[in-house]
Amino acid sequence: MFSRTARGILYTVLLFLITGGRAVCAGGGCFSPADIQKLAYLSDPAFSPGGDWVAYVLHVPPDTVRGEKLYDSEVWVVDFEGKRGPRRFAFGPGREKAPAWSPGGRWLAFLSDRETSGTDQVYKIRLDGGEAVKVTDFEEGVGSFVWNPGGNLFAVVVREPLPERVKGEKERGDDEVVIGGEDRFDRLWLVDSSTGKGEIASPDSLHVQAIAWSPDGSRIAMIVSDRPASDEMYWHARLEVLDISNGNRIVLSERAGGVPDWSPDGTAITFTYTLVHSDVTVGVPVVAVVGADGGKLRLFGRNLRSTLRYPVWHPDGEHLVVLEMAGVTARLAYLSLEDGKIEQVEELKVPYYRGPFFAISRDGNRLAYFKGSAQSPPDLWLKERGLFGKNDRVTDVNPWLSELDLPRAQRVRWTSRDGTEIEGVLFTPPRFKKDGKAPAVLLIHGGPMWAWWLGWHGSWHEWAVPLACRGFVVLCPNPRGSLGYGIGFARANFDDWGGGDLEDIFAGADFLVNGGYADRSRIGIGGWSYGGYMTSWAITQTRRFAAAVVGAGVTNLLSFHGTTDVTPTFLSRYLRDIPYVRLEAYRNRSAVSFVAQARTPTLILHGGDDARVPVGQAYELYNGLRQVGVHVEMVAYPREGHGFREIYHQVDLVGRVVDWFEHHLK
């Protein structure tokens, strides 16, 4: 095993030699941890009003030669007819994102931090070219924005600045933090799109999360919460409508999330609703439609064996366009509001957490969407309605991947010990032959209400491709508690963390052995977040795994509940109540309670600034395993939260994962 210093030097040299700071042709071989630095990604597709242009964001790797650590982003445009290829449209020294066309199509607005890093402002640029014009100048920057239908106003979400007195105190070192007593709300502003002058439109006790302007420009739909705390924002947000003429607000739903979208006639709003049962309190997302004046709430997806996400209104007013999580298959689909039936439009092979994935033209005849594969992250595709309509891929943002000999992925199913059918994605190395001798790794997803997908799995968070490239068979299971299999399945780990879901994972390991994919004595387990929890729990309940990687894992439910930013709702909904009422329930499902039973060599990886799963969870497991004599290593990454941003940390993390399993399973 390499020391931390040696590994850092090695990966720095590899990155410089392989990339020269920017992505170049890979020239054969397979995918390595160092290749993570070369991947580009797309986001935020947006149609022009006439449907003839599509804007999107290209996220490009940092230039490591120049000392960059974070991804850059640029706004690109492509004409739908294909007369011109994609071209870079808005770019500069900062990061550009969130493109939005003016209602007349003359301007393209976007967010950029080109003047002050990390502080986004609204800019706009003419479609026919010229320099970008800065519109807003808020001290704390802009979180999001929307054009009004007339094109003369922006609705923008802005964080409250610190009072001058407080800023002065903090500058001189008088910077104590009163926990729970210094809320800074995101406020709604209405800003003139020409002059940048504006006024606050939301009260000072309301935290605004997402907004949408009504078709007639008289009202704004808002997802709001009473406080800016994560627990409030995730589980106690509601849908309100604000009348901008008089400031009156009405509440349409006490449970709401995502981004609201108005029907074409302005009579209804669609959004994501959290469905909670009185006895089984785990909240499950479904699609909702409600009357804009407070009419009947209609819920869609309750009886499907799939999960619907990211609803937007189809221009015909009779359908919604949604992402359907159908097990490991991501589908672009139409949802009928008349009978709730689903019409599949396209299979996307996209990661379930990186939305939105699609846009629809104003006339409903054209779609722009991202579509990937197991061998490449998603690219932009354009589709036109009709028998002879186009359906073309228009970008190739990672062409170098086509020169690699990459692993193959397939959907697989097996039966758990209680008869429940479990699905997952199986990655096999290039030129793999089943002989029952290969090493294997089970990778467990986070959430737990999330899912693995059939698509690209090569990033700091998805390790299947780099592991399979080093000869490992990799199984990514979706155990009970996952999305994509209906509401009942998503709730099936209620008050049972580490119970039936662990049996599903054990059955997955048996599937690998019995199917001739893997050597029973050389199977490892790993995962991030809830996947880290399941890994830490597994190694204290069984000795069948030969190595483990615990990434940002919850290891002590008691201390986690008291320190995470999503307390008290998250765990109490899964475990029936708070731990001070159900102490034994929390203790009996915590890995640290059974650490003396562990024998599996374990690597622990964690962000040093993680608020979701505080790094103390890693230290508890690390010190416990050390004290009982288990081979354990731990790495904490400075400045990283629950998701990693800096490129060297990403590369180092995946390199350590691959090396750990190579050392212990081969």
Q: What does DSSP assign to residue 70?
A: S
Tell me the domain boundaries of the chain: 402-555+590-665
Separation of alpha carbons 520 and 506, rounded Å: 12
Express each pLDDT in 252-303 by its tens digit.
999 999 999 999 999 999 999 999 988 999 999 999 999 999 989 999 999 9
Q: What is the pLDDT of residue 179?
A: 81
Q: Are 275 and 308 in contact (CB under 8 A)?
A: no
C-alpha 185: how far from chain center: 23
Peptide bond into 568 cis (omega under 30): yes
With bands split at pLDDT 50, 70 and 90, how would you rate the model's confidence at 663? very high
Burial class, 496, CB count within 10 angstroms (exposed 0-12 / middle 13-18 / buried 19+): middle
pLDDT of 24 reads 32
Is the predicted pLDDT of residue 585 greater than 60, yes or no?
yes
Q: How far apart are CA 267 and CA 324, in angstroms?
A: 25
Which is nearest to 284 in space by CA: 421, 483, 577?
483
- Name the pairing type of β-strands 121-126 and 133-134: antiparallel
Q: Where would I find the beta strands (DSSP E) of 67-180?
A: 72-79, 87-90, 96-101, 107-112, 121-126, 133-134, 142-147, 153-159
Reported as a pLDDT band with limits 50, 70 and 90, residue 14 is: very low
Q: Please identify which residue in the block is written with the tokens 């009886």.
A: 303
Say whether pLDDT at 468 is over 90.
yes
Q: pLDDT, tens digit, for every residue of 361-371?
A: 999 999 999 99
- pLDDT-based confidence at 15, cuts 50/70/90? very low
Residues shown for the chain: 666
What is the tens place of the pLDDT at every residue in 71-107? 999 999 999 998 888 999 988 888 999 999 999 999 9
Q: pLDDT grade, residue 340 (50/70/90)?
A: very high
User: Could you report the per-residue pLDDT of 510-562, keeping only the tens digit for each?
Assistant: 999 999 999 999 999 999 999 999 999 999 999 999 999 999 999 999 999 99
The pLDDT, as a whole number, for residue 9 is 40
Burial of 362 (0-12, 13-18, 19+ CB in 10 A): middle
Residue tagged 């691959």 (tokens): 658
Q: How far apart are CA 405 and CA 66, in angstroms?
A: 30
Question: How far apart (Å, rounded) are the C-alpha atoms in residues 465 and 36?
Answer: 11
Tokens 């354009």 map to which residue?
382
Angle subtended by helix axes 530-541 and 500-514, to nearest 10: 80
The two tokens of residue 370 are: 């991202």
Quote the pLDDT of residue 388.
79
Q: What is the pLDDT of residues 161-203, one digit of tens each?
A: 888 777 777 788 888 888 877 789 999 999 999 999 999 999 9
Q: Is the pLDDT of residue 498 over 50?
A: yes
Q: Which residue has the higher pLDDT, 166 or 212?
A: 212
Which helix (DSSP H) or strand (DSSP E) does residue 645 occupy? none
Pick from 58, 17, 53: nearest CA to 39: 58
- Note the pLDDT of residue 91: 86
C-alpha closest to that of 298 among 259, 249, 264, 340: 340
Average pLDDT, the chain: 93
Domain 402-555+590-665, architecture per CATH: 3-Layer(aba) Sandwich (3.40)
For position 494, what pLDDT does the model report? 97
Looking at residue 398, its pLDDT comes to 97
Residue 13 clears pLDDT 70, i.e. is over it: no
C-alpha–C-alpha distance, residues 141 and 186, integer Å: 11
Measured between alpha carbons, how far is 324 from 330 in angstroms, rounded to an integer? 6
The answer to whether residue 27 scores a pLDDT higher than 70 is no
- Enumerate residues 6+ apart whose C-beta is below 8 A from 233: 207, 209, 225
CA–CA dist 130, 148 (Å, integer): 23
pLDDT of 461 reads 97
398-454 pLDDT per residue, tens: 999 999 999 999 999 999 999 999 999 999 999 999 999 999 999 999 999 999 999
Question: Which 3-state string (H, E, C) describes 120-134?
Answer: CEEEEEECCCCCCEE
